[in-house]
Chains A and B, each alone.
Chain A
Amino acid sequence: MSEQLEIDDAIGTLDADGIRREKRGRRAATIRRFTSHPSLVVGTVVLLALIAVALLAPSIAPYSPTRTSLVNTLAPASWAHPLGTDQFGRDVLSRLIHGTRVSLLVAFWVAAISLSVGTVVGAIAGFTGGWVDRIIVLFNDILMAFPGFLLALAIVAARGSSLDSIILAVSIAYAPRVAAVMRSVALTIRPRPFVEASRAIGLTPTQILLRHVVPNSLPPVIVVATVSAASAILAEAGLSFLGLGVKPPTPTWGNIIADGQTAITTNPLISISAGLCIAAMVVALNLIGDGLRDALDPQMRRQTARLL
């Protein structure tokens, strides 16, 4: 009797919960329709806009980013200088526009290098297995033990600061992360029937790797590469802020923040605007990463939403 009651009770709660879940599920679906895929769209649009700014920098910037004017230092915002001038009288807006170039270059090269190196190394590790895999994993773990920013700092310290050093440093820090993801995906692909079939019809391991493993694992790896590009921008900005980045007077967003630091109480606009630029680019890349992840893995998301 009491058992029957308990079951009834359970069914009752299940129903109420079910309705509530259904409602929440629908609302979630609506919200998601406006967030997950639009995040991809918004991210891409912002990134493309920033690429356009970088390419057209000399023609959009109202002044030369390095033209100093000692009579007009730390000027407040005005029509002539929408974001004011820095302590050397350089136009902050023009410097920000030109600064886009360094950030984008670093992001692009780090993504390209860590993607190509990481994919190859990770695929070899995951697909060959055995000793090769163990050595690669150990090497990967060792590199990942170094905090990424610290590793970059040390490499720049050893090589001297230049754009090349920064790109190399940040790539060494982030390629292992791409490799780790690539390896784990390769591991899940290896036992799949189509791989066995290709082996049966006589494809060499290299052919299988190139034809099946790499294309199939590319989506999650691209997500990681996007995130590495975002981290690369932050790392470059950090290095430039510490004075270890691209040498001044070349404007970078990081060194603009550092320039503005001394005048933070009187002209906060310098540092604040440069920080917003960095955030815009990093948000754009993260949105693309998040959007891709959701778009690539809709199954799991939808399932959870229905459940709770």
Chain B
Amino acid sequence: MLRHAGHIFLRLAMTGVGIVTVAFFLMRALPGDPAATMLGDFATVESIATLRAKLGLDEPVWWQYLLFLRHAASGNLGSSVVTGQPALVEVFASLPPSAALALSGMAIAIALGLPLGIVSAVRQGSWTDMIVMVVALAGISFPVFWIGLASILVFAHWIPMFPALGASNATNWLTQLYHLVLPATVLGISVAAYIARLTRSAMLEVLSQDYIRVALAMGVPRRRVIGKLALRNALVPILAVIGVTFAWSFGNAILIEAVFSRPGLGSMLLKAILARDYQLVQAGVLVLASAVVVINTVLDLAYGIIDPRLRAL
């Protein structure tokens, strides 16, 4: 178990350095000059050169990279060109509404997707399975922002049950929650479709194993075979599925924030991109990727607890 944890933390450290590296080269070594991009179409050669010097872009790339690594290690990801605030401070300030959206969305997605995926695997080929799979296919195929727009049209305009705006200035948490219902449900449904599909195939994989056949042949009741044997064995792949969908739901949350004009990391990133405030974009991307890595590490540790066989690895 300790070895398992040790490996996981070693990988966490390497991945951490890795995502900082990717975030750096993403912004700087790709074709295209960030300084020119930041200044827009009407920039002069001199103004670009000045900005390049100011951002340290005229230094050799490897030196910039080392500096960036050192700064990142001490939690300094540069500062916003627009507000002058440290980029990390801006990112964390915009995080709470996004976290609320992503977490409530994931909660809905898991509560909806897991049971539906399990049921449709157990009743493979039945009408229930057919209906769940058709709905899930639609769920992963419609763009999430379109589902959001459609839900605004139906549940805010035609049947005015919920507000079209995904946030309010009220400090009352109940009002905040009321505004969150529609966006969180839309996010939840889109991710639930994905979870249901992957859960179904993970479950089918387990159900086709010989020990399930043996248990059934021995007369162990179906309910127990599914509940005890199959589900426990399918838990690791299902957790892996949920880990993958976290990354996915962060991406979707950005679009949902745009549709519902909700404040948060997504709208902050968008504003930063349009203002060509690329230090801020870099910090935002890094924070989200780190969140994904941390979540997956926690899940990796959980696998060890659920499945003793993995501890030996």
Contact = CB atoms under 8 A, between A and B. Distances in A.
Given A142-B18, A148-B248, A150-B251, A261 B149 contact: yes
B130 A286 contact: no
Contacts of B150: 272, 275
Interface stretch (B42-50, B103-111, B135-143): B135-143
B251 A278 contact: no
A147 B143 contact: no
Interface in A237-265: 237-238, 241-244, 254, 257, 261, 264-265
B282 interface: yes
Residue among A13, A145, A237, A243 having the largest count of chain B Cβ atoms under 10 Å = A145
B126 A28 contact: yes
> Interface residues of A: mostly helix, strand, loop or mixed?
helix
A244 B222 CA distance: 52
A165 to B, nearest CB: 8
B204 interface: yes
B216 to A, nearest CB: 7
Interface string A141-173: 111111111110111111110000000000000
B38 to A, nearest CB: 10
B33 to A, nearest CB: 10
Contacts of A146: 19, 22, 247, 285, 288-289, 292
A145 B269 CA distance: 18
Contacts of A274: 146
A191 to B, nearest CB: 19
A304 B122 CA distance: 9
Contacts of B272: 157
B14 A307 contact: no
Nearest to B296: A145
B282 to A, nearest CB: 7
B141 A145 contact: no
Interface string A1-42: 000000001110110010000001101110110010000000
Interface of B: 11, 14-15, 18-19, 21-23, 26-28, 30-32, 34, 37, 122-126, 130, 137-138, 140-146, 149-150, 152-153, 157, 204-205, 207-208, 212-213, 216-219, 221-222, 247-248, 250-252, 254-255, 258-259, 269-270, 272-274, 278, 281-282, 285, 288-289, 292-293, 296
